[in-house]
């Protein structure tokens, strides 16, 4: 196969892979005031994602730009939206962490590029390491060291030009040094070299020149004694942990909106939000999960009458169980480890226009659950359904929207929203 055909094939495979990946639902996409498409119908929904291991390290299979550990209770009551989040990370703080990492990787890359380019210079153009100092030091400006500070800016040559090209700190220092020198010379010409203003500007110029010399000395020292420790790699982007606040069962973020896309109430912090809305968060989540499990049991118990279908597929080391009920609600239970524990539980109603993300289940979306309270409810679901065991017989069920019934039960807790 020719090189051009091989390249075309690789590009084609990458494009196909990109399409497949982009088509997968982003289950880290949590409800937010900007992505909810319908505020008209009262409802309760719950989103939970846990892509963090026991040591707090984010798992590889994640969207790097979204929170790795967060749960969100969504309530729309009388057309007004309330969001309670647990494990919320402030986007401004996340951006600062990302900015810090990008700055580190930029500096690492520039130093690596400088190192490669530096040794392409002829040896006669490079400063030799000093034998009188530490191994990572360099002989710089010998004449100015013995004869006092020079009255001219740093002398440029091929070596210095290369340092300026790859080091922003040196470039800024040298630019400031040249500007200070120009102002100092102009003032000396007007007021004389002994005037207080000239002396002050001379001192300022010498300080900046010294700063330039120190940075130059550091860079040459690095180049004369490069090692892994002298320019440590900050790590790949996927290894970085920008989302550090993990869900623990207590809400730490509250948002209330009376008008779509606008925020009327906002509160952050577990101490304040958890104290005021912790009971509502726990009660609503428990009640929503219980009501959907009861509905699942009802349809399975009456599967022939309700035309309910069950499908079991292999999934990673375990299995995925899918139930499509008589009203087209889709229940999905995933045991990815094959240990008999259902870690993920999804409830989706495709007939509802309501959603907060493309292809994300719009009633319950629980992924990789580690919350023991929730696991107690869902961990046996996959095995029970796939084996035909129904531990709870539900003969009757109010087929009205369960979320409306939950809102009625929550009325006493909703009054302070």
Q: Does one domain contain both 209 and 327?
A: no
How would residue 144 be classed by pLDDT, with cut points 50, 70 and 90? very low
State mean pLDDT over 386-401.
Answer: 79
Q: Kindly state whether residue 372 falls inside one of the protein's structural domains.
A: yes
Per residue in 9-46, pLDDT tens? 333 333 333 333 333 468 999 999 999 998 888 899 99
C-alpha distances in Å from residue 345, one per residue of 133, 233, 286, 327: 65, 39, 14, 18
Res 9: pLDDT: 39
Total number of domains constituting the chain: 2
Residue 102 lies in a domain: yes
Please compute the mean of the pLDDT values over residues 380-392 and round it to a whole number.
92
Rounded mean pLDDT, 137-163: 66
Judgement on whether residues 51 and 100 belong to the same structural domain of the protein? no
Task: Tell me if 106 is assigned to some domain.
Answer: yes
Q: Is residue 319 within 8 Å of 313, Cβ to Cβ?
A: yes
Count of CB atoms within 10 A of residue 94's CB? 17
Give the structural domain span for 218: 96-123+155-224
CA distances from 283 to 1, 48, 246, 368, 411 (A): 63, 16, 20, 21, 12
Rounded Cα gap, residues 407 and 260, in angstroms: 20
Decide: residue 10, CB within 10 A, 0-12 exposed, 13-18 middle, 19+ buried: exposed
pLDDT digits (tens, 9 = 90+) for 236-266: 998 898 999 999 999 999 999 988 888 889 9
In a domain, 200, yes or no: yes
Strand 43-50 and strand 253-257: the pairing is unpaired
Average of per-residue pLDDT across 275-301:
94
pLDDT digits (tens, 9 = 90+) for 164-223: 999 999 999 999 999 999 999 999 999 998 899 999 999 999 999 999 999 999 999 999
Domain identity same for 283 and 389: yes
Residue 135 inside a domain? The answer is no
Contact 251, 283 (CB under 8 A): no
Cα–Cα dist 386/320, whole Å: 9
Beta strands in 61-203 (DSSP E): 69-77, 80-86
Residue 4 pLDDT: 42
d(CA 155, CA 282): 69
Judge contact between 377 and 343, C-beta under 8 A: no
- Nearest CA to 59 out of 239, 231, 214, 295 is that of 239
Cα separation, 159 vs 112, whole angstroms: 16
Average per-residue pLDDT in the chain? 86
Contact 246, 86 (CB under 8 A): no
Regarding whether 167 and 296 lie in a shared domain, the answer is no
384 and 298 in one domain? Answer: yes
pLDDT at 8 over 50: no
């Amino acid at each position: 196969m020719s090189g051009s055909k091989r390249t075309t094939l690789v590009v084609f495979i990458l494009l196909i892979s990109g399409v497949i990946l982009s088509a997968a639902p982003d289950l880290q996409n949590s409800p937010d005031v900007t992505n909810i498409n319908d505020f008209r119908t009262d409802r309760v929904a719950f989103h939970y994602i846990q892509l963090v291991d026991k040591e707090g390290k984010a798992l590889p299979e994640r969207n790097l730009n979204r929170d790795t550990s967060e749960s969100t209770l969504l309530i729309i009551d009388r057309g007004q939206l309330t969001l309670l989040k647990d494990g919320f990370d402030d986007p401004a703080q996340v951006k600062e962490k990302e900015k810090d990492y990008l700055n580190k990787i930029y500096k690492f890359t520039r130093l690596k590029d400088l190192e490669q380019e530096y040794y392409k210079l002829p040896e006669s153009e490079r400063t030799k390491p000093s034998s009188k100092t530490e191994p990572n030091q360099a002989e710089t400006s010998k004449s100015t060291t013995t004869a006092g500070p020079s009255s001219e800016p740093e002398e440029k040559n091929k070596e210095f030009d290369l340092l300026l090209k790859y080091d922003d700190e040196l470039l800024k220092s040298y630019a400031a040094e040249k500007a200070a020198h120009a102002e100092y010379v102009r003032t000396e010409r007007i007021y004389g070299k002994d005037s207080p203003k000239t002396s002050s500007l001379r001192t300022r110029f010498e300080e900046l020149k010294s700063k330039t010399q120190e940075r130059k000395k550091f860079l040459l020292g690095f180049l004369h004694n490069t090692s892994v420790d002298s320019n440590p790699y900050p790590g790949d982007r996927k290894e970085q942990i920008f989302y550090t606040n993990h869900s623990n069962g207590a809400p730490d973020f509250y948002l209330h909106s009376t008008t779509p896309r606008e925020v009327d109430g906002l509160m952050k912090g577990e101490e304040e939000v958890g104290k005021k809305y912790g009971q509502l968060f726990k009660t609503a989540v428990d009640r929503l999960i219980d009501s959907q499990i009861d509905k699942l049991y009802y349809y399975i118990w009456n599967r022939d009458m309700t035309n309910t279908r069950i499908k079991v597929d292999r999934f990673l080391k375990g299995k995925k169980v899918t139930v499509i009920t008589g009203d087209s609600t889709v229940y999905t239970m995933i045991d990815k480890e094959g240990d008999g524990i259902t870690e993920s539980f999804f409830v989706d109603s495709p007939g509802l226009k309501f959603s907060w993300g493309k292809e994300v289940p719009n009633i319950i979306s629980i992924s990789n659950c580690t919350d023991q309270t929730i696991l107690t409810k869902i961990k046996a679901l996959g095995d029970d359904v796939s084996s035909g065991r129904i531990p709870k017989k539900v003969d009757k069920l109010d087929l009205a929207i369960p979320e409306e019934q939950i809102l009625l039960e929550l009325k006493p807790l909703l009054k302070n929203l």
